[in-house]
Chains A and B, each alone.
Chain A
Amino acid sequence: MERFLIISKGTEMLRIPAGRLVYISADGNYANIVTQDNRSQMVSFQLGQVEDMIADQLGDAGGNFVRLGRGLIINTDFVYFIDIARQRVVLSDCACFYHDLTASRDVLIKLKAYIDTTINHG
């Protein structure tokens, strides 16, 4: 059964299938949630708060998501390309979207190692 991330505040509620969530970027005290349909939705929560929601609501299914530095949470299912030298990580489903993001070298090294480990042991 598909899990949903529900972000609710005041008179608004956002309900996203976990598998359709591509990445979340920080924007000051807000967060931008980008989904597989190339839409971006801003929510009035900080990235850390959204991270806690993912952990609380998605449980082990949240394990697909990783926090990269202060400004990014990505869905590792959509990691298409990591370029540590150019500090790039590309998220794509090879069909509908292609997001070229930047992250620090150290974070990308850890991300690459994590994905390698997942392949080897998962």
Chain B
Amino acid sequence: MDDEFRVIGHSTQQNIAVKNKRRRWWWVLTAGFIIVISIIVAVFSKKPKELPENPIEGVFEYVPEIIIPPVIIPLGTDSSLTATEKLDTIINDVHLSIYIPHNAVPELTVGVPDRNDNSIILAAQAADIRQDNRKILGAFVLKGEPLAWGLSKKGYCAIIDGNVTVGVSENSPLFEEATEKGGYFFRQYPLVDNGKLVESELKNKTMRKALCSRAGQIIVAVSESDESMHDFAQALVDLGVENAIYLVGSHSSFGWYIDKTGEKTLFAPDIHRGTYRNENYIVWRGN
């Protein structure tokens, strides 16, 4: 107040009373302020009545939900030659090389393929082999003949009548179908299942390789740098891959591709490495 008059420092009852009065007013004002703030906070923090997640639709004014799926265009352009087309891309900082075999039929082979066989335009190691007995790890069918049984990994690849199917399942009827129809089948770590990333127990980082189905194409994707399985699989998801399984990767994995000029290029440096009788490959042979 502008007409306030107060003697300072007098320890008279009057001044004590004035001080107490001031203090009382201060507390009353503070309490009032806190109450007002509390009410305001309570009013504004009250959740608005939520609309039901699925609003009830009217019969006469029914609005059908229109879902436009993202358009995923097949990769590659050069399909006239029998060769492997190579594309390079970077997704989420992961440098990917994508190999698209054209005019070639896929199959599995056991044993290291002959690198002088120029009919093979793309070759990559497929299933792993067991450390203990060097047998193929997981179910494996070679030209209709089962060579290994058992579920070690949930990802699978089946080649039946020249068609490659990549998927994730503990029990796939395609194993029997491959057996009946003279097809091929092997198992590997799943990476992508219906467009969703599948977490893997492999945590280290190395060069990664995957067999993928995307927009009706079967492609092989290779990371050009050391990547974790998670980052690699996420890059595949972001590439638009629908299903993908791992292929034996790392810097020592063997394999090659032949481009449209006829040049053969190894996936990894041709280092001295031991070979195993049950090493197996997915290869594409030119028509």
Contacts and interface: CB of A to CB of B under 8 A. Distances in A.
Interface of A: 51, 54-55, 58-71, 73, 104-107, 110-111, 114
B69 to A, nearest CB: 63
Interface of B: 1-11
Contacts of A66: 5-8
Contacts, number: 60
A70 to B, nearest CB: 6
Nearest to A70: B2
A73 B5 CA distance: 10
B2 A63 contact: no
B8 A73 contact: yes
Contacts of B5: 66-69, 106-107, 110-111, 114
20 contacts: A51-B6, A54-B8, A54-B9, A58-B8, A60-B9, A60-B11, A63-B7, A63-B8, A63-B10, A65-B7, A65-B8, A66-B5, A66-B6, A68-B5, A70-B1, A70-B2, A73-B8, A104-B2, A107-B4, A107-B5
Given A62-B10, A69-B5, 14 more contacts: A58-B9, A60-B9, A60-B10, A60-B11, A63-B7, A63-B9, A65-B9, A66-B8, A70-B1, A70-B2, A106-B5, A110-B3, A111-B5, A114-B5
Contact of B2 (A55, A73, A107): A107
A32 B8 CA distance: 17
A67 B3 contact: no
A69 B2 CA distance: 4
Nearest to B10: A63
Contact of A69 (B1, B8, B10, B11): B1
A110 to B, nearest CB: 4
B96 to A, nearest CB: 60
Closest 8 CB pairs of A and B: A62-B9, A106-B3, A110-B5, A67-B6, A63-B10, A65-B8, A69-B2, A63-B9
Contacts of B3: 69, 104-107, 110
A60 B7 CA distance: 10
A111 to B, nearest CB: 6
A76 to B, nearest CB: 8
